[in-house]
């Protein structure tokens, strides 16, 4: 009986060991580094000063770069998390060649690379393009009059662009229903499913411009006085750039929402915000209370920066030596080949 008991005990221990092996995560699935606002405090104490200095200098020369930085940040983070994948321009699969990103502002893209060069010259290659982009976006919001918020740092840069199906989930300016927009924000556990997130992030349009082709559907319907004006303006000059905030186009404030209450939204997606009962009260609140908008915008930007990163197993990230190319690829410079300015935040957010 003693021998049998010892055999039974041994079998039980073997079963427990197997169960532990099955339930334990593989070594390759180790947790990502913890993000924090002071992640680079020791390795690059000058970081925030360098970024804010060059962002402010750029915006003093051309305020439109603020809209470019905000929109690039959204287009980077929304598909697969904030990993600077949108900057990669070293392969045919570049996100910059995909339809939602064709009008991303070259000057804003280049500014982040220029700041990266300054940061690496001061501290060595310790800070990712993803972190620099996040800081530059926050500083652009502040310099143009908007709220400040904490930026968590410590991200790595993706080795490859996001897959096209993820990029194509970026919301379209032609989206006519709030359900379409909210579904995209909720998809893939992005954590942006609250109507307040959609309305607040749409407020990035307060410093943006758009070319006629991006709001042609609204102009063609001519359903109100403002859309008729859009149609007439574009008929006279198809290359005309339209302010998305027709009240205070160069200031980050709540003018965009005030304009919406007068049915003066440029995109179909803008008008959806004031027409839908889920979002109409939020638009009106922000139109009346700039502080309420600033408070929610700051919260929603932090949420956006925390969209889960989706990467393949062999793409654990790096600190790029050039924002436009992975470290194994040749250097690439983004050329400014268009006169169009940026149309603000995202196509509809």
Reading the block at residue 55, the tokens are 């962002």
- pLDDT, residue 134, reads 98
- What pLDDT was estimated at residue 311? 61
75 is catalytic: yes
pLDDT of residue 89: 95
**Vertex 182, ends 180 and 70: CA angle to 5°?**
105
What CATH number is given to the structural domain containing 301?
Answer: 1.10.520.10
85 in a domain, yes or no?
Answer: yes
Instruction: Tell me how many domains the chain contains.
Output: 1
Contact 208, 345 (CB under 8 A): yes
pLDDT for residue 25? 40
Instruction: Give the phi and the psi of residue 208 in degrees, each rounded to 5.
Output: -115, 170
171-224 tens-digit pLDDT: 999 988 999 999 889 887 788 989 999 999 999 999 999 999 999 999 999 989
pTM of the model: 0.85
Beta pairing class for 241-243 and 209-211: antiparallel
Determine whether 154 is exposed, middle or buried from the number of CB atoms within 10 Å of its CB (0-12, 13-18, 19+): middle
Cα 62 to Cα 47, 140, 243, 293, distances in angstroms: 23, 11, 15, 25
Catalytic residue among 40, 49, 75, 120: 75
Instruction: Give the torsion sign (CA, 257, 111, 115, 307).
Output: positive
Spatial separation of the C-alpha atoms in residues 142 and 230, rounded to whole Å: 30
Among the listed residues 115, 4, 107, the one whose alpha carbon sits nearest the alpha carbon of residue 49: 115
Does a structural domain hold residue 326? Answer: no
Summarised one tens digit per residue, pLDDT across range 239-268 is: 889 999 999 999 999 999 999 999 999 999
Whether the CB-CB separation of 155 and 131 falls below 8 Å is answered with yes
Closest residue by Cα to residue 291 from 254, 316, 322, 257: 254
Residue 184: inside a domain:
yes
Q: How would you label 4-30 residue by residue, b for 16+ Cβ within 10 Å and e otherwise?
A: eeeeeeeeeeeeeeeeeeeeeeeeeee
Residue with tokens 């310790």: 126
pLDDT at 11: 44
Residue ranges for the known binding site for Ca(2+) are: 76, 81, 83, 85, 95, 206, 245, 248, 253
Enclosing domain of residue 140: 46-208+244-305
Tokens representing 295 are 């408070």
Which residues participate in the annotated binding site for substrate? 171
In a domain, 169, yes or no: yes
Low-confidence ranges of the chain (pLDDT < 50): 1-32, 313, 337-349
Comparing C-alpha atoms, which of 324, 327, 337 is closest to residue 109?
Answer: 324
Let me know if residue 155 belongs to a domain: yes
Report how far residue 276's alpha carbon sits from residue 265's, in angstroms, rounded to the nearest whole number. 14
In a domain, 346, yes or no: no
Annotated binding site for heme b: 205
Q: Where is the binding site, in residues?
A: 76, 81, 83, 85, 95, 171, 205-206, 245, 248, 253
For residue 28, give both structure tokens. 């390759």
């Amino acid at each position: 009986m003693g021998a049998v008991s010892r055999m039974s005990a041994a079998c039980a221990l073997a079963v427990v060991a197997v169960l532990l092996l099955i339930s334990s995560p593989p070594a390759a699935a180790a947790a990502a580094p913890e993000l924090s606002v002071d992640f680079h405090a020791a390795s690059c104490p000058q970081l925030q000063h360098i970024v804010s200095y060059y962002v402010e200098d750029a915006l003093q020369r051309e305020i439109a770069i603020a809209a470019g930085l905000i929109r690039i940040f959204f287009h980077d983070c929304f598909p697969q998390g904030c990993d600077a994948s949108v900057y990669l321009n070293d392969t045919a699969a570049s996100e910059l060649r995909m339809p939602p990103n064709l009008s991303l502002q070259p000057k804003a893209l280049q500014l982040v690379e220029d700041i990266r060069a300054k940061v690496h010259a001061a501290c060595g290659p310790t800070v990712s393009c993803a972190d620099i982009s996040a800081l530059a976006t926050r500083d652009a919001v502040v310099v143009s009059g908007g709220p400040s918020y904490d930026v968590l740092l410590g991200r790595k840069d993706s080795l490859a662009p996001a897959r096209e199906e993820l990029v194509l989930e970026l919301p379209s300016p032609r989206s006519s229903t709030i359900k379409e927009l909210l579904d995209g924000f909720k998809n893939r556990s992005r954590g942006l499913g609250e109507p307040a997130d959609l309305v607040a992030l749409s407020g990035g349009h307060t410093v943006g411009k758009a070319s006629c082709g991006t709001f042609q559907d609204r102009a063609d319907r001519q359903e109100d006085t403002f859309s008729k004006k859009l149609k007439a303006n574009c008929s006279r000059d198809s290359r005309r750039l339209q302010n998305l905030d027709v009240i205070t186009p160069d200031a980050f404030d709540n003018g965009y929402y005030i304009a919406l209450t007068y049915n003066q939204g440029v995109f179909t997606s803008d008008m959806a915000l004031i027409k839908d009962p889920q979002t109409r009260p939020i638009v009106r609140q922000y139109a009346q209370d700039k502080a309420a908008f600033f408070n929610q915008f700051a919260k929603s930007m932090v949420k956006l920066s925390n969209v889960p990163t989706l990467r393949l197993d062999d793409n654990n990230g790096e600190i790029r030596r050039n924002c436009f190319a992975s470290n194994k690829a040749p250097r690439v410079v983004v050329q400014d080949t268009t006169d169009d300015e940026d149309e603000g935040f995202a196509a509809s957010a």
